[in-house]
């Protein structure tokens, strides 16, 4: 069984997982979804009516009965397209289809910068910023954590060795958003070393280079908070995985063969431990999601975490629902990529052991 | 390895032998004692926490009281003055009562607020205050049918016109401390620049009350800018009390979520790793599904849909996080299985459900204890995060909600560091002993260094 | 003829929280060219520690505290680590492990790992050709080079590991329980392979096992080890015919007799190596223990020909 077969198998597994996860969300939010859809339909019908009225008044003919009939028909059409008048199982299929294709209905109050009231449009406007921040943060944590973890595993009893368990305690006891909050008070408003929030300076620089520079400058503090909180936990995991792999038989035999310590550590041990490490990466991604999202709020970083907060403050349920579904897909995608990396690294998986 | 060696006792011993383990246990006991004390001593306060009126007489956004030692000129506690009321005039339709305060002010900055408290036997009709500065300048504040305690914000119309008569405009977002500056500053363009007139101030309070009204108690509070060990928030609520009252809630939800999710996760992951084969694949698939549900957004939705109580919240969190423990337990179970199979082959022939309970689960127990300890702070942090988003279970005092208040009132911009620092530090402080204990047991199991 | 490897008074201690474990205690051993020396003893008697000591692979908490190991007259314990690594380890002395079924790194192909050895030791010649040649030597198909360790059976893995051990034409091969985890038929095949290789390549072998029956097939000379010390040594056939030390006698009896269908164990347990009995280390299990045995430790002394025994009976 080659990598391709493994890939095909994983694709199928992850599709079933996606459907299952979506279904769980659907079941838990069933009543709310119905309310949201009903409101969306009313909303759309109203828009439709206004459009007709505008059109009709331009032509000077206003037959209210006819217009109402028209609107009614439109509404009925929407109701059946959203499956509201169908039995539960049919409703499930129609609405699940809508959810998986990102049709979440309209927001109650919020709008996208484009003016659209579609939840999917609103989310699409903010999602990239979450992805930028979270991906950068996660990559930094993985790289820095791996290096620190390896150093501490290799040099027992040294500074690195003692550092890691200490920073691991930080990881498990400190909320990312709180550290961010503290940083803003101290480093942004206190000594003015960093901007207190936002994505770029205002107004955004026109030059793309300056724009990126400004964005990086604004990302510095949130990334610092994210890294400080998460790097210790990850380094700790790397450290214990490496230490436990070091006790395996192949390490002694590798040494007997005359291979150098660093060759054994960086080639043999690290590669052998990497499938286990990627499992931990998956857990770390899923685990740091909540903290990362909340951090957006304190830094006024206009991503999905911030949008969630705004939606909570303005009671915009459809947006909150939409975000939850979108983030499920994103998280699953991250786990899927991780799985592919794991399969690539571990020859044992490909044979399906 | 004999079964005695794998027993829970051994791991409790490793925790207690270890210095940091003892500190951890001691800290947890201290927190539990503090929780009980807080619940008993501040039972009534807890129900008044969200009642802004209850906190009227407290200084708003005051620093911790111990800050006084660092800068006694600018940082000070609340001062209260009492004076004898005199009846100036009485008739069958009304009476006029005067309360006269005289005090010296030598501090380098103005009080954060001034509160006039007059407790009367029947409601006051009008109140009129003539405020006289050391240089003789006068400000008049008045109001009809005031409440018993009036702070400066309740005289905002009088004060706004006084300020604009001096500096030519009314500054935006006026807070109590701005108004206080107006009462203590030199008249002219620099009224609000923070310089304070030192000397003897006089406040003549004239009340119009119904006949035969008695003044039961009266006080003038010059609100300090320091109060309590952790300061106060914008409503004057002492953060020390808030933090103390948040402790039992944090511990309760931490313990609940941790125990439920770890027991669930370890049993499911353990069975999965022990049985292997189809069952394992199926359970593995389920854990993957659970892992892909984003915890926080899901909790946000559920808080919205159901407004859960603390217990329900704990159940939701457990539902979302058990898979983490199941995944880790599964991999431990797989390695234990290899040993146990070898052992069981010798002793009992084929591994069975009996081997599962006699040989297998006991080895997972220390693992479960370690993760229960680590799960407590995880649960606490999740709930505080939800609370920070404004979605704490209703009626609960949480550190997250206190921090949410800080965020919404721009504590960072205003430099109200204590409002941000201490509630967050509490989250860390409560988490640390559990993490230390969890780690030390984990190290005992996996033999790390 | 001077021995190719000669160990003198080697002591290896493990510093554990429970005390100092003398895993190897003043052991002396000689290996001549093209000879197979067997080291036998119960599990835990320090055989693997001895082997690892020769390879200088003792890691903390263990330490070689005393003794000399001469290779062609040079004390290799006095070499610096890098000198030993580049001149002796695997080049002159290679080893097959008790655990060499897991001896390959699981994530690299067999061929890659053998090539890595060639690369690290700066082998002159074509790596791919050499790998093919080696695999042929151990009677494996050349396609094995492209397989991962987990794709091979136990016997194939052990053969592949032997191939890797022979990669640099070593003079000495240490085999630490090379067949322990294998079934009887595969065991016999591996032993035959080792015999052939010894003959073809002129290898000198130190063969370590707890299985006396296995040793009888292959070894020329025998060392019997108990609790870190040598109890008896001498010509293999002599010892099999006429074991002197009570421990050797019991060890022989413990061999599964084809005529009986049970294995007789040696009564009692090996003492804790951090807490040996005073006097003879075997005294607490010895059926012939006398007073002096509990008081004074017997020296290893020559009793006839090349036979040495550490026992007060002689
Ligand atoms: N890394 C180690 N730490 C502590 N003690 C060890 C270590 N390795 C071996 N020992 C001790 O050395 C003794 C001999 O072990 P070993 O050489 O593996 O015996 P054998 O190979 O004969 O079974 C054992 O009692 C064991 O406890
Ligand atoms: Mg051994």
- The residue whose CA has the least distance to atom 14 of ligand 1 is C46
CA distance A22 to A98: 11
Q: Are B262 and B316 in contact (CB under 8 A)?
A: no
- The ligand with the least distance to the CA atom of C59 is 1
CA distance A333 to A350: 20
Q: What is the pLDDT of residue C68?
A: 93
Indicate where chain B has its CATH 1.10.3720.10 domain(s): 3-49+238-446
Contact C150 A347 (CB under 8 A): yes
Chain C nearest C-alpha distance from A30 (Å):
47
Q: What is the pLDDT of residue B10?
A: 64
User: Chain-wide mean pLDDT for chain C?
Assistant: 88
Asked whether residue B307 carries a pLDDT value surpassing 60, the answer given is yes
Is pLDDT larger for residue C60 or for residue B233? B233
Q: What is the pLDDT of residue C261?
A: 47
Asked whether residue C61 carries a pLDDT value surpassing 70, the answer given is yes
Residues in the ligand 1 pocket, defined by CB under 6 Å: C 14, 16, 21, 23, 41, 43-49, 61-62, 273
Over residues B229-235, the mean pLDDT reads: 91
Superfamily (CATH H level) for B3-49+238-446: MetI-like (1.10.3720.10)
CA distance C149 to A184: 53
Contact A249 C97 (CB under 8 A): yes
Burial of B84 (0-12, 13-18, 19+ CB in 10 A): exposed
CA distance A169 to B119: 53
Q: Are B69 and B77 in contact (CB under 8 A)?
A: no
Nearest chain B residue (CA) to A155: B449
Over residues A139-161, the mean pLDDT reads: 87
Q: What is the pLDDT of residue A61?
A: 66
Over residues A290-316, the mean pLDDT reads: 89
**First CA to last CA across chain C, in angstroms?**
29
Over residues C207-223, the mean pLDDT reads: 87
Contact C106 A258 (CB under 8 A): no
Which structure tokens are listed for C134? 């080696």
Chain B nearest C-alpha distance from A169 (Å):
6
Q: What is the pLDDT of residue B351?
A: 56
Q: What is the pLDDT of residue B129?
A: 93
Asked whether residue B216 carries a pLDDT value surpassing 50, the answer given is yes
Over residues C196-220, the mean pLDDT reads: 89
Residue C177: list chain A partners with CB under 8 A.
Answer: none
A-B contacts (CB, under 8 Å): 170
Q: What is the pLDDT of residue B2?
A: 38
Over residues A183-206, the mean pLDDT reads: 84
Give domain A119-350's CATH architecture: Orthogonal Bundle (1.10)
Q: What is the pLDDT of residue A207?
A: 86
Q: Are C67 and C77 in contact (CB under 8 A)?
A: yes
CA distance A291 to A27: 26
Of chain B, the percentage scoring pLDDT greater than 70 comes to 92
Among all chains, which residue has been given the structure tokens 């409503």?
Answer: B235
Half-sphere exposure of A325 (CA within 13 A, CB side): 29
Nearest chain A residue (CA) to C95: A256
Which structure tokens are listed for B127? 């109140």
The torsion angles phi and psi of C272, rounded to 5 degrees, stand at: -65, 125
User: Chain-wide mean pLDDT for chain B?
Assistant: 86
Over residues B297-311, the mean pLDDT reads: 86
Among all chains, which residue has been given the structure tokens 């009476």?
Answer: B95
Asked whether residue C156 carries a pLDDT value surpassing 80, the answer given is yes
A-C contacts (CB, under 8 Å): 75
The pLDDT-based confidence of B11 (bands split at 50, 70, 90) is low
Please write the tens of the pLDDT for every residue from B319-376: 999 998 998 888 888 777 766 565 555 454 555 666 777 777 777 887 888 888 889 9
Please write the tens of the pLDDT for every residue from B174-213: 888 889 999 999 998 888 888 899 999 999 999 999 988 8
**Nearest to A278, CA basis, from A222, A234, A243:** A234
Distance C198 CA to ligand 1 centre (A): 29
The residues pairing with C5 across neighbouring beta strands, listed in sequence order, are C31, C71
Over residues A163-167, the mean pLDDT reads: 84
The pLDDT-based confidence of B3 (bands split at 50, 70, 90) is very low
The bridge status of strand B113-120 relative to strand B215-223 is antiparallel
Counting ligand 1 atoms within 8 A of each CB, the residue from C21, C42, C225 with the most, and so the one to mutate, is C21
- The ligand with the least distance to the CA atom of C20 is 1
The pLDDT-based confidence of A231 (bands split at 50, 70, 90) is very high
Nearest chain A residue (CA) to B416: A185
Among all chains, which residue has been given the structure tokens 């009846």?
Answer: B87
Contact A331 B292 (CB under 8 A): yes
Please give the C-alpha separations between residue C81 and each of A255, C44, C89, in angstroms, as whole numbers: 12, 27, 10
Half-sphere exposure of A117 (CA within 13 A, CB side): 12
Helix, coil or strand: residue C176: strand
**Nearest to B381, CA basis, from B333, B434, B427:** B427
Is pLDDT larger for residue B447 or for residue B303? B303
Which structure tokens are listed for A157? 């009893």
Which structure tokens are listed for B288? 């993957």
Q: What is the pLDDT of residue A82?
A: 83
Residue B403: list chain A partners with CB under 8 A.
Answer: 178, 181
Annotated domain spans of chain A: 3-100, 119-350
CA distance A240 to A231: 14
CA distance B108 to B330: 65
CA dihedral A106, A107, A112, A114 (to 10 degrees): 40
The pLDDT-based confidence of C143 (bands split at 50, 70, 90) is very high
Q: What is the pLDDT of residue A54?
A: 81
Over residues A28-50, the mean pLDDT reads: 86
The pLDDT-based confidence of C231 (bands split at 50, 70, 90) is very high
Indicate where chain B has its CATH 2.60.120 domain(s): 76-223
Please state whether the peptide bond connecting residue A203 to the residue before it is cis, i.e. omega within 30 degrees of 0. Answer: yes
Q: Are A181 and B412 in contact (CB under 8 A)?
A: yes
Please give the C-alpha separations between residue A319 and each of A108, A132, B300, in angstroms, as whole numbers: 8, 21, 12
Q: What is the pLDDT of residue B1?
A: 36
Q: What is the pLDDT of residue A247?
A: 83
Q: Where are the alpha helices (DSSP H) in chain A?
A: 3-59, 64-81, 88-100, 119-154, 159-173, 176-183, 208-246, 249-256, 261-263, 270-298, 304-313, 317-345, 347-350
Chain C nearest C-alpha distance from A255 (Å):
8
Query: What class does CATH assign to B76-223?
Result: mainly beta
Tell me which residues have their CB within 5 A of the ion that is ligand 2. C 48, 98
What does the DSSP 8-state code read for residue A267? I
The torsion angles phi and psi of C112, rounded to 5 degrees, stand at: -60, -40
């Amino acid at each position: 069984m080659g990598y391709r077969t493994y890939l095909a198998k994983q694709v199928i597994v992850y599709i079933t997982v996606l459907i299952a996860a979506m279904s769980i969300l659907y079941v838990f939010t069933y009543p709310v979804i119905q309310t949201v859809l009903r409101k969306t339909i009313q909303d759309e019908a109203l828009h439709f009516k206004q459009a007709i009225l505008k059109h009709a008044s331009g032509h000077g003919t206003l037959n209210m009965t006819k217009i109402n009939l028209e609107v009614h028909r439109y509404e009925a059409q929407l109701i059946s397209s959203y499956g509201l008048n169908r039995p539960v199982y049919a409703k499930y299929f129609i609405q699940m289809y809508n959810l998986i294709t990102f049709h979440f209905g309209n927001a109650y109050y919020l709008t996208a910068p484009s003016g659209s009231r579609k939840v999917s449009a609103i989310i699409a406007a903010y999602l990239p910023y979450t992805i930028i921040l979270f991906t950068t943060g996660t990559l930094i944590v993985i790289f820095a954590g791996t290096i620190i973890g390896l150093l501490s595993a290799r040099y027992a009893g040294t500074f690195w060795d003692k550092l890691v368990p200490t920073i691991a305690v930080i990881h498990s006891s400190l909320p990312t958003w709180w550290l961010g909050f503290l940083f803003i008070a101290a480093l942004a408003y206190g000594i003015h070393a960093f901007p207190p929030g936002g994505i770029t300076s205002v107004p955004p620089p026109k030059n793309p280079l300056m724009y990126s520079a400004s964005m990086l400058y604004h990302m510095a503090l949130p990334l610092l908070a994210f890294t400080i909180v998460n790097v210790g936990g990850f380094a700790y995991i790397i450290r214990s995985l490496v230490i436990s792999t070091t006790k395996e038989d192949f390490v002694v035999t590798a040494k007997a063969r005359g291979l150098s310590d660093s060759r054994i550590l960086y080639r043999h041990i690290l590669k052998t431990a990497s499938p286990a490490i990627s499992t931990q990466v998956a857990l770390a991604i899923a685990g740091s999601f909540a903290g990362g999202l909340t951090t957006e709020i304190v830094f006024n970083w206009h991503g999905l975490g911030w949008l969630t907060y705004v939606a909570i403050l303005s009671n915009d349920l459809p947006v909150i629902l939409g975000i939850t579904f979108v983030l499920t897909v994103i998280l699953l995608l991250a786990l899927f990529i991780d799985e592919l990396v794991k399969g690539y690294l571990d020859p044992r998986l490909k044979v399906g052991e | 390895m004999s079964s005695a060696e794998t027993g829970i006792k051994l791991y409790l011993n490793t925790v207690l032998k270890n210095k940091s383990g003892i500190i951890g246990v001691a800290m947890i006991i201290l927190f539990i004692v503090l929780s009980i004390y807080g619940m008993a001593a501040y039972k009534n306060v807890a129900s008044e926490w969200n009642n802004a009126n209850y906190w009227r007489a407290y200084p708003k956004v005051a620093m911790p009281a111990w800050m006084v030692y660092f800068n006694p000129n600018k940082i000070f506690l609340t001062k209260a003055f009492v004076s004898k009321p005199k009846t100036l005039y009485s008739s069958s339709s009304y009476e006029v009562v005067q309360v006269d305060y005289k005090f010296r002010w030598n501090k380098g900055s103005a009080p954060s607020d001034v509160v006039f408290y007059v407790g009367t036997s029947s409601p006051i009709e009008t109140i009129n205050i003539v405020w006289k500065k050391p240089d003789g300048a006068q400000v008049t504040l008045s109001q009809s049918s005031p409440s018993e305690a009036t702070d400066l914000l309740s005289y905002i119309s009088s004060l706004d016109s006084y300020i604009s008569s001096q500096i030519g405009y009314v500054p935006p977002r006026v807070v109590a401390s701005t108004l206080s500056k107006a009462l203590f500053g030199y008249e002219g363009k620099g009224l609000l620049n923070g310089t304070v007139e030192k000397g003897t101030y006089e406040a003549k309070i004239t009340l119009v009350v119904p006949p035969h009204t008695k003044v039961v108690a009266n006080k003038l509070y010059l609100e300090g800018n320091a109060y309590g060990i952790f300061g106060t928030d914008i409503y004057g609520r002492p953060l020390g009390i808030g933090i103390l009252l948040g402790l039992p809630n944090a511990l309760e939800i931490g313990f609940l979520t941790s125990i439920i999710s770890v027991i669930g996760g370890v049993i499911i992951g353990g069975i999965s790793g022990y049985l292997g084969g189809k069952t394992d694949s199926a359970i593995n698939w389920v854990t993957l599904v659970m892992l892909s549900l984003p915890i926080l957004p899901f909790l946000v939705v559920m808080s919205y849909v159901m407004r859960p109580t603390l217990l329900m919240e704990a159940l939701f969190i457990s539902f979302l996080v058990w898979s983490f423990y199941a995944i880790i337990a599964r991999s431990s179970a797989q390695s234990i299985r290899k040993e146990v199979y070898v052992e069981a082959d010798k002793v009992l022939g084929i591994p069975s459900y009996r081997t599962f309970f006699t040989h297998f689960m006991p080895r997972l127990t220390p693992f479960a204890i370690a993760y229960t300890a680590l799960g407590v702070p995880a649960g606490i942090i999740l709930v505080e995060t939800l609370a920070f988003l404004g979605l704490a279970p209703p009626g609960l005092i949480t550190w997250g909600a206190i921090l949410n208040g800080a965020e919404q009132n721009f504590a960072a911009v205003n430099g109200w560091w204590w409002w941000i620092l201490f509630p967050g530090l509490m989250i860390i402080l409560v988490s640390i002993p559990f993490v230390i204990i969890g780690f030390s047991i984990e190290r005992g199991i996996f033999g790390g260094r | 003829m001077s021995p190719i490897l000669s160990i003198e008074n080697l002591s290896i201690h493990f510093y554990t929280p429970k005390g100092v474990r003398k895993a190897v205690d003043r052991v002396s051993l000689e290996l001549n060219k093209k000879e197979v020396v067997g080291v036998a003893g119960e599990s835990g008697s320090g055989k693997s520690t001895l082997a690892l000591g020769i390879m200088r692979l003792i890691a903390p908490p263990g330490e070689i505290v005393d003794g000399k190991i001469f290779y062609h007259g040079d004390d290799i314990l006095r070499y610096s680590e890098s000198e030993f690594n580049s001149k002796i380890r695997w080049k002159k002395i290679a080893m097959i492990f008790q655990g060499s079924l897991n001896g390959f790194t699981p994530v690299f192909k067999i061929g890659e790992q053998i090539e890595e050895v060639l690369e690290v030791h700066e082998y002159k010649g074509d790596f791919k050709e050499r790998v093919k040649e080696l695999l042929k030597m151990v009677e494996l198909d050349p396609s094995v080079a492209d397989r991962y360790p987990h794709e091979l059976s136990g016997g194939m893995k052990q053969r592949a590991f032997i191939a890797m051990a022979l990669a640099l034409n070593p003079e000495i091969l240490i085999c630490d329980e090379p067949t322990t985890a294998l079934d009887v038929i595969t065991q016999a095949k591996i032993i035959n392979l080792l015999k052939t290789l010894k003959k073809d390549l002129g290898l000198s072998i130190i063969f370590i096992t707890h299985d006396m029956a296995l040793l009888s097939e292959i070894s020329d000379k025998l060392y019997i080890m108990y609790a870190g010390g040598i109890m008896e040594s001498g010509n293999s056939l002599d010892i099999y015919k006429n074991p002197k030390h009570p421990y050797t006698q019991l060890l022989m009896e413990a061999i599964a007799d084809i005529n009986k269908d049970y294995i007789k164990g040696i009564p009692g347990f090996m003492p804790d190596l951090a807490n040996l009995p005073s006097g003879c280390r075997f005294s607490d299990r010895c059926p012939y223990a006398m007073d002096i045995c509990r008081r004074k430790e017997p020296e290893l002394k020559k009793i006839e020909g090349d036979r040495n025994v550490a026992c007060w009976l002689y």
